[in-house]
Structure formats: C-alpha cells, structure tokens
Chain A
Amino acid sequence: MAQYFGTAVEDIFNTMEERFLPEGTVDVDVTIGYNISGEGGGHWKVTIKEGTLKTEDMDGEVTDCTAVLNANAETFVGVTLGKIDAGEAFSSGSIKVDGDLTVLIAVLPKAFRPFKPVVKASSIVESVEERFRPEKAEGVDIKIGYDLSGDGGGQWTVVVKDQTCALKDVLDDDCTVVMRMEAQVFVDLNQGKLDGATAFTSGQVKIDGDIGAAGKSSSLFEKYVAEGAVEEQGEELISLKCVPSINQRYATGPLMGTWFNGLKEKKFYAAKCPECGRTLVPPREICAQCRVRCNELVEVGPDAMVTLIDVVYYASPDPLTGKIRETPYTALFMVLDGASRDESFAHDLNPRDIDRIKPGMKVRPVWSEKRTGSYKDLLYFEIAD
C-alpha cells in the first residue's frame, strides 16, 4: 500500500472511529465526502450526526455532501499529519472543497482527535542503532533479546558492546535478558501509553534472564519518536510513584494462634458455635449469626470436598511474598471433612489439576516440608485419587 510520510490514506479513515469525540458533535449534522486521487487513494463518505459517526468506503466519486474535499493522496496525508501547510494547499489549489468549507474548519477539529501515524514494532526495533547513546554505554556488555508475538511481531537481538550497538534479526541463545510480549504491548510501552512496571506486574511482559539489565537498558537509547509524528507537548500532569507501606504486627489471639500452630502439625482447627453447632474455618471469636463467643476448637479435615472454583488468568502480586503469582491459578473453596456444610474454606489448587477440578471432588492438602505457622505451610490442595 502506498505510504506518504510513513502513513497510508486508509490509515486515516480506519482510525476515525477511535479518534471520534461524540461530545464535540452533539449539535452537528453534516456529511463530508473525500475524493482522494493517486496511488492509495479512494472515495469515502463520513456522516456526523448528533454525536454519532458513520464512515463509508465508497465505490466511486462522492458528491452531494455538506462539503466534498478533493485532493491527491500525498497532499491529503501531508496536511493531515501537519507536514504540508493546509492554507498553502488550499490557495495553491492542490486541495479543492465543494460545498460548505466552514464545515471542515469548524467541525473537524471538534469531532476528531488528531491523527497519529500507526507505529509498528519493527520500526521501533530497527531504529535502535540510530537511537543508541554511546556515552551511556561505557563498560556495558549486554545482549538484549526481543521476542514479540502477534501481529507485527518478530525476534531480534540488540548487542551492546564497546560503546557500539548492533541489531540482529534473530534471537540469540546467549542473551543477557530476553523480553517477551505482544508486539502491540511493545509499541504501547515505547509510546508511553503503557507503564513498564504495570505491564510487568500484570504479566503482559515476561522477562527471562537479568531483570536488572532490562531496567537499565532503557537509558542506553533515545526515546523512539515515530516518523511523521509531531513531537507532542505532554500535558502537565504529575504522577508520584510510591507505595506507602507500614510494617504491621498482627495479634492472633488464642483462636487464630491455635489455627496457625495447627498448620505446623498438619492439622486444621475450627471454632464451633455452642448454639448452632456450625464450624468456623478459620476460627473466629464469635458466631456472627448467633452472636455468641466460640471458645471450643474442633479438629477438621485434612481432606476436603470442593464447593466452588475459579481460575485466574491475570497475574497479580502475592501480598505475603511480593512475588508475581504464576498464572493460571485457582481460588479453591472447599468444605473440610467434619466441618459444617455451609462453611467453606479457601486455598490454592495444585496447578496440574486445573483442567480436571470440579465441584464435589475430594481434595487433600499438600504440606510444605518446612512449616513455620504461616498460611504457606499449606502449599495447596490436590485431587485425591
């Protein structure tokens, strides 16, 4: 497809819907025709009516609109990108408008966000040598691998050594660090649309090898600026990146204390309500329903019957360890043997059983070798068969 300033005419029309601003067109009722000549050109009809947008790809010359714009493909793209002066294009006649010219001037800026060229992952990677900053690479000797999947993806290795930078079209086996992600995630990261830490903690980016090297590598290169993009003045927003954290020292009280000590001995204890007889797992001070203190502890389990399961596919940090959980993982709700039927207890499931687990199944606990009286003394439950 023919491109001008790195952009095809089609790209401009195809992105109209995502750039459309309904709130700017509440009182608008217009149709705009586009006849774009030359390679990559075509005919389009855009209808904007009371906050709605319709873009139609037409077979032939568009007429009979509130305004019709006629231009060749290069001029149209150039004006859209701000590479060609619009006023000059009008006065020189390379853009002609039939109908109400004021519609274009008054309506379009309110109806659409400015067009930005579509950036490909390959363009970002391929510009790495130009963006290299030798002055920041003194003593640096690393190989950064990129494994980008999906549309526009590919594999590359960037070799930084002796203050030089070289790009290879293959993924070397001996990379210091390899970053794996969808090509679009890579593009969004480089365009500042996605925060690196967020992408990593949410599992969108997987890093194999030296994570520290991955972090430092960004300072070795200038920021990528898309070809044809007008360097945008960022909005004056401040973001503070801090995680307020205050160490806590929780009291357990006798019931919770017995529960955790029980885990050390591979035992589960429940508090039994003296009135309704239900068992609270883990034990709590009071039966919320009967409003009486529950001092009696009874042993339950260790096997259990599954009541509810969900399977989690997004990554999230484990607050007890700070590490990102492997996905997928389960929240497994189950009734420990001997516990009352309505009082489920939740823990993890052995990941190997995810495909087979069903409500009603019997499961058994798998214990950690070294038990310290923590929730992690219990590794997970697994299907008992």
Chain B
Amino acid sequence: MKRVAVCAVAQHKCDSNIWHKRFQGMLLDVLEDIQEQTGMHFSEKGGVRSIVSSSDDVFDARTISDNAVTDVLGAHYREEEKMAQEGLNGIGYAMSIILSGHDDVVYVAGHCKESQGESRNMCTNLSYDPFYGRAIGLDYTNVAALQARAYMEKSGLTEEQMAKVVVRARQWAAKNPYANATEQVELGDVMYSPMLCDPIRTMHAYPVSDGAVAFLLASEEKAHEYTDNPVWLTGFGSCMDSYFLGDRDLASNFALKNAAGRAYRMAGVKDAKKEINLVEVMDCYAYQQPMWIEGLGFCGDGEGAKFIDEEGPEKYNVNLSGGMLSGNPIMTGGLYRAAEAVIQLKGEAGAHQASDVSRAVAQSTTGGAGQFHTVVVLEK
C-alpha cells in the first residue's frame, strides 16, 4: 500500500489571548515556518496545488470561514477545501487526496481563536439543536460533566486521580514551548479549584486558547524533496456517535473504539499496548484522559482510573506535550496532538523528547462529550 509522509509540522505557540495578531497573522506564521523547514513553494511549476484548511464559522464569526484566510494558506488560485471539523480530520482528507493519486503534496493548516468570542460556551451551545439542546443551555462543558459523572461511576475515577492528571499535564507542558498553561500546580490546587459544572472544576477544563497548526504531507515518492526525516501516516479512522445525548451511552467510548479500530486495521496494529509507544489524546477535561486511553485500547473497559494510578501515562508516553489540558483551541486540538507525535517520532521534541518511540497514535474529538472521534497512527 502507498504511504503518506508528514514532511514537516509547525505549531503556533498557544495563548489565552493573542490580542496582537489576527488569526490570519497566526496562519501566516505557521505557513512561513513550514516554508523555512522544507522549501515548500506555490509556484505554478512543481509548487503545492492542494490545500486543506480547518476552521469554524462560529468561532471565526463569519460563514464559509476559509474564505477569509485563503491568502495566508497560499491557496490563491489553487485547490482549497475546508474541514468544518476538528483539524485532524483535515489530515484524513489530505491522506485521501494523496492515496487516491489526486495529488502528491498537500498543505494542511488549522486555526482557532477561542478568545475572540465573548464566551466559548456560547459558541459550543450553537452546535446543539435549537429546539431541545440550546434551549436548556447545553454546551461542551456541561455536557462533558454528564459524561464525567457517568465515567466516574463506571471506572471509579476519583477527584484525586483527576487532579493527578492535571498536575502531570502542567509538568510536561512546562517543557513544551508551544503549550499555553504551564504554571505548576499541586493536587490541592486542582481539587479545590472552583466548580464549573459538577464534577468538572475550573482546573479540570482546558484553558481558553488561541492557536494555529500546519502540516506538509506528501506521497512517498515526493517526500524526499521536502525532508530527510519523514514520519509516516499509516492509519486513519473516525466514527460519529448519535447527536442526541439521550441516545448515547456516555461512558461506553462507542465512537472512539470504532474510530481506533478502523485506524489500527489500516495501520496493521493488532494490539495497541504492544505496538504503540506514544499516545496523544485530546483531553479537553481531566476525566477524558483516562477515558480516551481506555477507548484507544491501552487498558481494559472501565480500567482508566487504575491506569492513572499504575503510572500508565508514563509507560505509554501519554500527552508529553501537556495535552489539551495545557491549552490548545478546540478546533485544532487534534492537529496539535498529531504535531506533537510527529516531532516526537522525528526526535525533535527537545526538552520533552521521549526515548525509543517508533509508533504513535493521536486522537481528536468534536461534538459534546466525544460525539465524534478521529484517530491517526503515525510511524517513524
């Protein structure tokens, strides 16, 4: 089977309020970063022809939000498609462009400025049905709290364990130059931080974040023109669960298990525990780290809490970036996960570099309480 190479990634440093830059300016920074790393260009002869962007109309406060950024994507007079989902799905789309033979080089970039809107909860409230969901104030935070409660019930996850996840995330974030929340905290700080929506506390939730990420993908034949150190995208899978919360078993990980199953099958992974040694999960809330780990097959059903206590996160190099808990915007949460996996596999992660990593998995989720999941497998 043909392989797709990640030639380079570029991450904009995340912050809770990048007030001095338009999101266009942030995208231009990552574009120039990729150009610098790879010599990527857009000239008619041999330049990039296909661009995949990822952004959200509500966060950007305009419809067909990609229209506003085509110039800073290099997409002028080129083919450009927008992924109106978390950006990791744009990687899947770019893979299909290359694997189908439609094109051999694709530039992928995603952005989101959560700070631009008055409230990100108001933005995610708009993803719910206007008659039933919006009316009762559903948004990603309070819906996640329903799932947190269900998962705590199922796995026995405690306040202490959730606090441990946050404390560890901040420790790793401090070593990641692109992370937002790097201030060190102790268990008590987390356990007594103000309640947002029971059982989710302020410090269990990822901070409001602005960011942008870019990838350059190429076919196996073309990759060497851009890099001597490619990382291979060998698996992709996604799965959508029901829109109506009442139709879902919130603690079941149904969509994630399916998405992971598809990605692992494509990559030829039979047992994630044995064959994968780096994991990046999109843990928007602390309870999600053990829950998503479970869905990805690194521990048995309902054993996520035990996984935390038994130092599973260190054993499997979980979220050495600091994860979502250290602050990436929601529409690019998965792109940041995959970008971290790429630099780890390339051996370019600097202060937080893991040793001996050969195969990684990156996961993202869109929709409240993990309605939709996306999983990619990356290899050295």
Count of chain A residues near B, Cβ 8 A: 22
In the assembled complex, which residues on chain B have CB atoms less than 8 Å from the CB atom of A253? 20-22, 24-25
Q: How far is the CA of A140 from the CA of B312 in the complex (A)?
A: 74
A139 CB within 8 Å of chain B: no
Interface centre among A244, A254, A285, A289 (most CB of B within 10 A): A285
B22 with A285: CB separation less than 8 A? yes
B144 CB within 8 Å of chain A: no
Q: How far is the CA of A254 from the CA of B28 in the complex (A)?
A: 14
Q: Mark B113-124, 1 if CB is under 8 A from A, else 0.
A: 101111100110
From A246, A251, A286, give the contact of B61 (CB < 8 A). A246
User: Assuming the A-B contacts A256-B22, A284-B24, A293-B32, are A249 and B71 also in contact, with contact meaning beta carbons closer than 8 angstroms in the complex?
Assistant: no
B116 with A285: CB separation less than 8 A? no
Q: How far is the CA of A249 from the CA of B116 in the complex (A)?
A: 5
From residue A256, how far is it (CB to closest CB) to chain B in Å? 7
A247 with B28: CB separation less than 8 A? no
B42 with A291: CB separation less than 8 A? yes
From residue A255, how far is it (CB to closest CB) to chain B in Å? 8
A286 with B119: CB separation less than 8 A? no
Within 8 A of A (CB), among B142-161: none
B19 with A251: CB separation less than 8 A? yes
Within 8 A of A (CB), among B114-137: 115-119, 122-123, 126, 130-131
In the assembled complex, which residues on chain B have CB atoms less than 8 Å from the CB atom of A247? 117-118
In the assembled complex, which residues on chain A have CB atoms less than 8 Å from the CB atom of B113? 251
B118 with A251: CB separation less than 8 A? no
B70 CB within 8 Å of chain A: yes
From A238, A248, A286, A287, give the contact of B118 (CB < 8 A). A248
B28 with A286: CB separation less than 8 A? yes
B299 CB within 8 Å of chain A: no
In the assembled complex, which residues on chain A have CB atoms less than 8 Å from the CB atom of B131? 238, 240
The chain B residues found within 8 Å of chain A, CB to CB, are 18-25, 28, 32, 41-42, 58, 61, 70-72, 74, 76-77, 113, 115-119, 122-123, 126, 130-131
A105 CB within 8 Å of chain B: no
B21 with A291: CB separation less than 8 A? no
B130 with A240: CB separation less than 8 A? yes
Total contacts A-B at CB 8 Å:
65
Q: Mark A274-297, 1 if CB is under 8 A from B, else 0.
A: 000000000011111101010000
Within 8 A of B (CB), among A216-271: 238, 240, 242, 244, 246-254, 256
Q: Which 4 A-B pairs have the closest CB atoms?
A: A288-B71, A288-B76, A247-B118, A253-B22
A-B contact pairs, 18 of them (CB 8 A): A242-B130, A246-B117, A246-B119, A246-B123, A247-B118, A248-B118, A250-B22, A251-B25, A252-B22, A253-B22, A253-B25, A285-B28, A286-B24, A287-B71, A288-B76, A291-B41, A291-B42, A293-B32
Q: How far is the CA of A244 from the CA of B23 in the complex (A)?
A: 23
Interface centre among B74, B76, B123 (most CB of A within 10 A): B76
In the assembled complex, which residues on chain A have CB atoms less than 8 Å from the CB atom of B116? 248-251
Q: How far is the CA of A244 from the CA of B118 in the complex (A)?
A: 13
B28 with A293: CB separation less than 8 A? yes
B71 with A251: CB separation less than 8 A? no
A244 with B126: CB separation less than 8 A? yes
Q: How far is the CA of A289 from the CA of B76 in the complex (A)?
A: 6
A249 with B115: CB separation less than 8 A? yes
Interface centre among A248, A256, A289 (most CB of B within 10 A): A248
From A240, A246, A250, A293, give the contact of B58 (CB < 8 A). A246
Q: How far is the CA of A250 from the CA of B117 in the complex (A)?
A: 8
In the assembled complex, which residues on chain A have CB atoms less than 8 Å from the CB atom of B76? 288-289, 291
Given A240-B131, A246-B58, A251-B19; 19 other pairs, CB 8 A cutoff = A240-B130, A242-B130, A244-B126, A246-B117, A246-B122, A247-B117, A247-B118, A248-B117, A251-B23, A251-B25, A253-B20, A253-B21, A253-B25, A285-B25, A286-B24, A286-B28, A286-B71, A289-B76, A289-B77
A291 with B118: CB separation less than 8 A? no
B72 with A285: CB separation less than 8 A? yes
In the complex, what residue of chain A is closest to B62 when comparing beta carbons? A248
Within 8 A of B (CB), among A284-321: 284-289, 291, 293
Interface centre among B20, B25, B42 (most CB of A within 10 A): B25
From residue B19, how far is it (CB to closest CB) to chain A in Å? 5
